[in-house]
Amino acid sequence: MRNVGAALAEIGGSVDDIAKMTIYVVDWTADKMPMLQQGRAQACAKLGVDTFLPPGTLIGVGALFVPEILVEVEAIAVLD
């Protein structure tokens, strides 16, 4: 989330401009939801924004391209 916020800031946007988000989580199980929510809340606090919930999708995957990465966030933002 912080990377998404930084990328949007570089082009004059913010996380408020996110229209849709897809989150990929390695070996997803429902018991991981509290950790995911805590991570999102911490990222939002560091970005100085309220916890936001744009429309989105959570997808459990076996692995990501970089094995050490456990969560990947893809965001679509709309800027004027």
- Residue 44: the pLDDT is 79
Q: Show the domains of the chain with their CATH numbers.
A: 2-77 (3.30.1330.40)
Characterise 4 by phi-psi region: left (phi > 0), alpha (psi -120 to 50), beta (else): alpha
pLDDT digits (tens, 9 = 90+) for 27-56: 999 999 999 889 888 887 887 777 667 888
What would the mean pLDDT of 2-29 be, rounded to a whole number? 91
Structure token digits, residue 78: 């709309």
Collapse the DSSP code of 70 into the 3-class scheme (helix H, G, I; strand E, B; otherwise coil) and give the result: coil
Q: What is the pLDDT of residues 58-78, one digit of tens each?
A: 999 999 999 999 999 999 999
Residues in the chain: 80
Q: Mean pLDDT across the stretch 9-30? A: 92
DSSP characters for 44-56? HHHHT------SE
Beta bridge partners of residue 21, listed in sequence order: 56, 75
pLDDT at 40: 82
